[in-house]
Structure 1
Amino acid sequence: MVIDVQDELLYTSQIKSAAVHLQRFLVCLFGILAYVDLVHFFYFESFSFAFNLWFISVSILLSIFWLLIKATIASPYNNTFNLDALCQFICLVLGCILDFGIFNLHHYVNIDTPNMTLNHLIILSGILIFSTSTISILYLSNRFRYFLFLFIPFITPCILYKFIFFTPLSTYYQFTFNFIFLFIIICAFIVHRYHTQLSLLSFKNNKFSLQETQLTQDKNQLGLNLKNAVEKSNQMQNELLLHNQLLEQKVKERTYDIKQINDRLENHQANLAFAHETAGINSWLWNIEKRSIEIFDTKSKILFNHISENEVQFESLIHPDDLDNYQKLMRQHLRGKTERFEARYRIKRDQQWCWIQDTGKVVARHPMSYKPLRMVGIHRDIQKEKTDQEQLKLAANVFEHVAEGVFVLDNNLCYLEVNPYFEKLTSYHQSDLLGKHLFDITVNTKKEILSQHFDVTKKLIADGEYDAELQIEFLTGKVLTLWVHINAVTDEKNKITNYIGIITDLTERKKQEQRVSYLENYDLLTDLPNRFYFNLQLHHYLTDPNDSIQNLAVIRINIDRFRSFNEFVSTQAGDILLQKTAQRLRHSCPDALLISYLNNDDFAIIYKYGQNKKNIQQIAKKILEAFESPFVIQNNEHFISTSIGIALYPEHGRQIDTLNSHAEQALAEAKSLGGNTAYFYTNKNTRLFHQGVNLEGDLRQALKNKELLVYYQPKICTKTEKVYGFEALIRWQHPKLGLLTPDIFLPIAEESSLITEIGRFVLFETCKQIRIWQDLNFDYLRISVNVVAQQIHRGELIHDIDQALELYNVSGDMLELEITESSLIAKSENVLTLLQQVKHRHISISLDDFGTGYSSLAYLINYPIDTLKIDKLFIAKIEQEKDQAIVSAIIAMGKAMGLSIVAEGVETIEQINFLKKHDCHILQGYYYSKPLTAQECIDYLSKFKLASVYRS
Structure 2
Amino acid sequence: MKESSAIKESEERLQFLAHHDPLTKLPNRLLFSARLEHALQHAHRQNELVAVMFLDLDNFKQINDGLGHPVGDKVLQKVARRLSAIMRDEDTVARMGGDEFALVLGDISDSMGASQVASKVLSVFEAPLEIDHHRLYVTSTLGISLYPSDGENVATLLKNAHTAMYHAKEEGKNQFCFYTDDLNSEALEKLNLENDLREALNNDEFEVYYQPQYELSSGRLTGAEALIRWNHKELGLVPPDEFIPMAESNGLIIPIGRWIMKQACSQVKTWQEAGFDIDRIGVNVAGQQIQNSDIVETVKDVLKETKLEPACLELEITESFIMQQAEKAISTLEELRKIGVALAIDDFGTGYSSLSYLKRLPIDRLKIDRSFIKDIPYDSDGVAITKAIIALGKSMQLNVIAEGIETDEQHDFLTEKGCDEVQGYLYSRPLNAQEIEEIFQKEN
Common fold by TM > 0.5: yes
Quote the residue 2:299 is aligned against: 801
Of the three residues 422, 436, 442, the one matched with 1:937 is 436
Quote the residue 2:257 is aligned against: 759
Alignment map for 1:620-699 (pairs within 5 Å) = 651=167, 689=187, 691=189, 694-699=192-197
1:767 maps to a residue whose letter is: C
- SS of the residue corresponding to residue 213 of structure 2 reads strand
In 2, Cα distance between equivalents of 1:806 and 1:794? 22
Alignment map for 1:471-870 (pairs within 5 Å) = 543-545=62-64, 546=72, 547=75, 593=126, 608-612=140-144, 651=167, 689=187, 691=189, 694-870=192-368
- Offset of 1:924 from its aligned partner? 0.9
- Offset of 1:772 from its aligned partner? 0.9
Quote the residue 2:398 is aligned against: 899
Deviations 1:90-144 (A, max 9, x none): xxxxxxxxxxxxxxxxxxxxxxxxxxxxxxxxxxxxxxxxxxxxxxxxxxxxxxx
Deviations 1:195-214 (A, max 9, x none): xxxxxxxxxxxxxxxxxxxx
- Offset of 1:941 from its aligned partner? 2.4
In 1, Cα distance between equivalents of 2:271 and 2:440? 10
> 8 Å contact 1:792–1:823 — kept in the other structure?
no
- Offset of 1:901 from its aligned partner? 0.9
Q: 1:734 to 1:842 in 2, by over 3 A?
A: same
Deviations 1:523-543 (A, max 9, x none): xxxxxxxxxxxxxxx998883
In 2, Cα distance between equivalents of 1:897 and 1:689? 47
> 8 Å contact 2:221–2:278 — kept in the other structure?
no
In 1, Cα distance between equivalents of 2:372 and 2:425? 16
- SS of the residue corresponding to residue 250 of structure 2 reads coil
Quote the residue 2:412 is aligned against: 913
> 8 Å contact 1:849–1:870 — kept in the other structure?
yes
In 2, Cα distance between equivalents of 1:754 and 1:899? 33
Deviations 1:17-57 (A, max 9, x none): xxxxxxxxxxxxxxxxxxxxxxxxxxxxxxxxxxxxxxxxx
Quote the residue 1:922 is aligned against: 421
> 8 Å contact 1:836–1:864 — kept in the other structure?
yes
2:429 maps to a residue whose letter is: K
- SS of the residue corresponding to residue 833 of structure 1 reads helix
Q: 1:905 to 1:613 in 2, by over 3 A?
A: farther
Q: 1:607 to 1:830 in 2, by over 3 A?
A: closer
Alignment map for 1:297-336 (pairs within 5 Å) = none
Give the root-mean-square deviation of aligned CA atoms: 3.5
In 2, Cα distance between equivalents of 1:540 and 1:856? 22
Q: 1:733 to 1:891 in 2, by over 3 A?
A: same
In 2, Cα distance between equivalents of 1:762 and 1:775? 20
- Offset of 1:831 from its aligned partner? 2.9
- Offset of 1:889 from its aligned partner? 0.9
1:787 maps to a residue whose letter is: V
Q: 1:608 to 1:659 in 2, by over 3 A?
A: closer
Alignment map for 1:3-18 (pairs within 5 Å) = none
- SS of the residue corresponding to residue 427 of structure 2 reads coil
In 2, Cα distance between equivalents of 1:692 and 1:829? 35
Q: 1:866 to 1:719 in 2, by over 3 A?
A: same
- Offset of 1:912 from its aligned partner? 1.1
Alignment map for 1:221-236 (pairs within 5 Å) = none
Q: 1:739 to 1:904 in 2, by over 3 A?
A: same
1:544 maps to a residue whose letter is: I
Q: 1:769 to 1:653 in 2, by over 3 A?
A: farther
Q: Please, what TM-score do these two structures have when normalized by structure 2?
A: 0.61
> 8 Å contact 1:649–1:659 — kept in the other structure?
no
Q: 1:590 to 1:841 in 2, by over 3 A?
A: closer
> 8 Å contact 2:254–2:293 — kept in the other structure?
no
- SS of the residue corresponding to residue 931 of structure 1 reads coil
Alignment map for 1:7-86 (pairs within 5 Å) = none
Q: 1:773 to 1:653 in 2, by over 3 A?
A: farther
> 8 Å contact 2:268–2:278 — kept in the other structure?
no
2:407 maps to a residue whose letter is: T
1:770 maps to a residue whose letter is: V
- Offset of 1:689 from its aligned partner? 4.5
> 8 Å contact 1:593–1:608 — kept in the other structure?
no
1:918 maps to a residue whose letter is: K
Identify the structure with bigger relative contact order (alpha carbons < 8 Å, sequence gap 6+): 2
Percent identity, aligned pairs only, is 39
In 2, Cα distance between equivalents of 1:787 and 1:872? 18
- Offset of 1:701 from its aligned partner? 0.7
1:543 maps to a residue whose letter is: Q
Q: 1:539 to 1:905 in 2, by over 3 A?
A: farther
- SS of the residue corresponding to residue 330 of structure 2 reads helix
Q: 1:711 to 1:806 in 2, by over 3 A?
A: same
In 2, Cα distance between equivalents of 1:721 and 1:752? 41
Q: 1:539 to 1:766 in 2, by over 3 A?
A: same
- SS of the residue corresponding to residue 202 of structure 2 reads helix
Alignment map for 1:412-431 (pairs within 5 Å) = none
Deviations 1:568-587 (A, max 9, x none): xxxxxxxxxxxxxxxxxxxx
> 8 Å contact 1:903–1:920 — kept in the other structure?
yes
Higher share of residues assigned helix? 1
- Offset of 1:820 from its aligned partner? 1.1
Quote the residue 1:343 is aligned against: none
In 2, Cα distance between equivalents of 1:823 and 1:919? 28
- Offset of 1:653 from its aligned partner? 6.6
- SS of the residue corresponding to residue 431 of structure 2 reads coil
In 1, Cα distance between equivalents of 2:189 and 2:250? 22
Q: 1:784 to 1:686 in 2, by over 3 A?
A: farther
- Offset of 1:809 from its aligned partner? 1.3
Q: Please, what TM-score do these two structures have when normalized by structure 1?
A: 0.29
Quote the residue 2:384 is aligned against: 885
- SS of the residue corresponding to residue 226 of structure 2 reads strand
- Offset of 1:832 from its aligned partner? 2.5
In 2, Cα distance between equivalents of 1:869 and 1:689? 35
2:309 maps to a residue whose letter is: S
- Offset of 1:918 from its aligned partner? 1.0
- Offset of 1:591 from its aligned partner? 8.5
- Offset of 1:750 from its aligned partner? 0.5
Quote the residue 1:618 is aligned against: none
Deviations 1:461-499 (A, max 9, x none): xxxxxxxxxxxxxxxxxxxxxxxxxxxxxxxxxxxxxxx
Alignment map for 1:332-371 (pairs within 5 Å) = none
Q: 1:613 to 1:824 in 2, by over 3 A?
A: farther
Give ranges in structure 1 of 5+ residues lacking alignment.
1-537, 552-588, 595-605, 615-647, 664-684, 947-952
> 8 Å contact 1:539–1:854 — kept in the other structure?
no
Alignment map for 1:339-418 (pairs within 5 Å) = none
- Offset of 1:779 from its aligned partner? 2.9
Q: 1:591 to 1:890 in 2, by over 3 A?
A: farther
> 8 Å contact 2:141–2:168 — kept in the other structure?
no
- Offset of 1:593 from its aligned partner? 4.2
